[in-house]
């Protein structure tokens, strides 16, 4: 979180800038998008507001630019829930509840509201099997403004982009086979809530990979400019623009995925699928017997921001027990951060919960049942680290500001330092954020906090900025400077190597 001293008008301005930047700059742009693809995991936090004797399902979720919203669905209870409870975890990791009273008239028992989207302007959509509800927030309650009937059933909804308040993307990512056809396609549509018409629809054939549709909501991802659909057994991800035109096919460099496809073809040929029509449990038995769900495949995809696509690949359990390979792909540059991916042992990613990045972090929820019969719910946040020290540019010596022009606080040795005492330097302003975790990756680093008017910054405010940088790095040395002393070519919020020649 950002820390600000509210003791004077200047610092109130700083606070406003900080809160504005919090939603926009959840991670520092370090000259370019650099991802080491490692994760830091926060301590587990209990959601005390959710204690109770009833069990809630929490697998589905949706998000905005700064919130993760989890519909908590009452399960395994004889009670009929009239109110849908929404857990909201914002970018500062604070949680609260929203309430939505379900309309009961004319709805089937299967139309539980647990899909949703947040539109530009903050409007929250909730979707049942055949309806979209446009809501208006009043305090902690959502009230229906409009009820829109859909002609088809969908299990995915997202806003189309960051501008349109009427258009959404709808998709089916589950097996909806029918007699005479062994398996179905993923269907993606652009729907206009204003005209209540589907403007365009496409089908994506992913073969028998559609049979992995328990995890169907992990087969599709949406950012403001792009839609991604994975073909889990082909090792491919298809990238579409907002006109549903395929603009790129991303191929994963992990060939064992193809062995899973061949195995599924051998044990579930079309003849078997057609003969078992109406007896889906037989196919589930076969897939369980051969442990298809544990075989190599693309498990999950998610966008990190607008451009970067995170791809999680389930790898051979015999070779990497409990681990997976993660890839990060830039749609704009059409390049992987690491073409071979990075082996990861983060177990939270392996849960059945959908991955949605809020900035560079995602939320995982779990529960426990106490001896008193009360369920307790918890959440953790995992943050993808956005650093790569090898790629840091070198700051030439002639651009160093004089050490004597820098200030320190609570350090009597301050000005006795020289640039040769450090390996890296970062000039940062109020836009940098403590959500970023670099740990010891940059070794000995000096952070120079830059202000236009350093004299207007109180000691309290300086100390809070110092604490912020200490969260970002392991034992950084924090200095303060006015922007006017810096060479104009120095980029703020960029980490440089120090030239020690």
pLDDT tens sequence across 165-202: 999 999 988 877 677 788 889 999 999 999 999 999 99
What is the model's pLDDT at position 278?
76
User: Residue 240: phi, psi to the nearest 5?
Assistant: -120, 155
Model confidence at 315: pLDDT above 70: yes
Please give the Cα distance from 216 to 172 (Å, whole number).
8
Q: How confident is the model over 195-243, as pLDDT tens digits?
A: 999 999 999 999 999 988 876 678 999 999 999 999 999 999 999 999 9
Please give the Cα distance from 345 to 95 (Å, whole number).
27
User: Which whole number is the average pLDDT over 379-402?
Assistant: 81
CA 161 to chain centre: 16
Percent of the chain with pLDDT over 70: 84
The sign of the CA dihedral 99, 105, 110, 116 is negative
The beta strands (E) that lie in 140-296 are given as 141-149, 156-159, 167-172, 186-192, 197-204, 220-222, 227-231, 236-240, 246-251
Please give the Cα distance from 479 to 145 (Å, whole number).
52
The residues near 110 (Cβ < 8 Å, ≥ 6 apart) are: 129
CB neighbourhood size of 309 (10 A): 24
Q: How many CA atoms lie within 13 A of 267 on its CB side?
A: 17
Token readout for 16 is: 């406003």
Q: How confident is the model over 442-475, as pLDDT tens digits?
A: 889 999 999 999 988 899 989 988 988 988 888 8
Q: What is the DSSP letter of 268?
A: S
Beta bridge partners of 329: 309, 336
Model confidence at 14: pLDDT above 50: no
Q: Where is average pLDDT lowest: 28-32, 62-66, 175-179?
A: 28-32
Do the bridges between strand 394-395 and strand 494-498 make them parallel or antiparallel, or are there none, so unpaired?
parallel
Is the separation of the CB atoms in 177 and 184 below 8 Å? yes
Percent of the chain with pLDDT over 90: 37
Token readout for 78 is: 């004889």
Q: What is the DSSP letter of 408?
A: -
Average per-residue pLDDT in the chain? Answer: 82
What is the model's pLDDT at position 496?
92
CA 257 to chain centre: 24
User: Which whole number is the average pLDDT over 367-380?
Assistant: 88
Looking at per-residue confidence, does 41 or 231 come out higher?
231
């Amino acid at each position: 979180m950002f820390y600000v001293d509210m003791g004077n008008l200047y610092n109130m301005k700083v606070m406003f800038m900080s809160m504005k930047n919090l939603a926009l700059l959840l991670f520092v742009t370090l000259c370019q998008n650099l991802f080491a693809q490692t994760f830091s995991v926060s301590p587990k936090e209990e959601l005390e507001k959710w204690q109770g004797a009833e069990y809630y399902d929490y697998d589905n979720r949706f998000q905005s630019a700064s919130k993760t919203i989890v519909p908590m669905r009452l399960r395994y209870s004889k009670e009929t829930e009239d109110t849908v409870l929404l857990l909201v975890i914002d970018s500062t990791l604070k949680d609260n509840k929203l309430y939505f009273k379900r309309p009961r008239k004319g709805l089937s028992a299967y139309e539980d509201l647990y899909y949703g989207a947040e539109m530009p302007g903050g409007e929250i959509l909730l979707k049942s099997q055949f309806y979209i509800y446009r809501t208006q927030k009043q305090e902690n309650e959502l009230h229906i403004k409009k009820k829109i009937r859909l002609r088809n059933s969908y299990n995915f909804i997202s806003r189309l982009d960051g501008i349109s308040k009427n258009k959404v993307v709808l998709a089916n990512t589950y097996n909806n086979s029918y007699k005479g056809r062994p398996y179905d396609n993923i269907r993606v549509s652009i729907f206009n809530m204003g005209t209540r018409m589907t403007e365009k629809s496409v089908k994506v054939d992913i073969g028998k990979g559609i049979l992995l549709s328990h995890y169907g909501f992990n087969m599709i991802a949406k950012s403001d400019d792009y839609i991604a659909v994975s073909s889990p057994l082909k090792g491919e991800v298809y990238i579409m623009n907002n006109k549903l035109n395929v603009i790129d096919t991303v191929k994963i460099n992990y060939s064992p995925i193809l062995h899973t496809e061949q195995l599924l073809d051998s044990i579930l040929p079309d003849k078997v699928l057609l003969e078992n029509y109406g007896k889906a449990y037989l196919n589930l038995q076969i897939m369980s017997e051969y442990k298809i769900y544990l075989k190599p495949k693309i498990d999950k995809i998610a966008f990190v921001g607008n451009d970067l696509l995170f791809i999680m690949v389930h790898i051979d359990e015999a070779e990497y027990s409990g681990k997976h390979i993660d890839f990060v792909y830039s749609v704009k540059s059409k390049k992987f951060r690491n073409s071979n991916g990075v082996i990861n042992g983060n177990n939270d990613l392996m849960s059945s919960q959908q991955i949605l990045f809020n900035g560079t972090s995602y939320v995982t929820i779990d529960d426990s049942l106490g001896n008193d019969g009360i369920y307790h719910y918890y959440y953790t946040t995992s943050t993808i680290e956005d650093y790569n020290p090898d790629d840091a540019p070198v700051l030439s010596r002639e651009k160093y500001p004089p050490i004597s022009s820098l200030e320190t606080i609570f350090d009597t040795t301050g000005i006795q330092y020289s640039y040769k005492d450090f390996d890296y330097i970062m000039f940062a302003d109020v836009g940098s954020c403590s959500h970023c975790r670099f740990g010891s990756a940059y070794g000995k680093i000096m952070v120079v906090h830059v202000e236009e008017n350093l004299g207007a910054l109180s000691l309290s405010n300086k100390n809070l900025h110092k604490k912020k940088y200490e969260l970002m790095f392991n034992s950084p040395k924090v200095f303060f400077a006015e922007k006017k002393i810096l060479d104009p070519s120095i980029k703020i919020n960029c980490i440089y190597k120090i030239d020690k020649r």
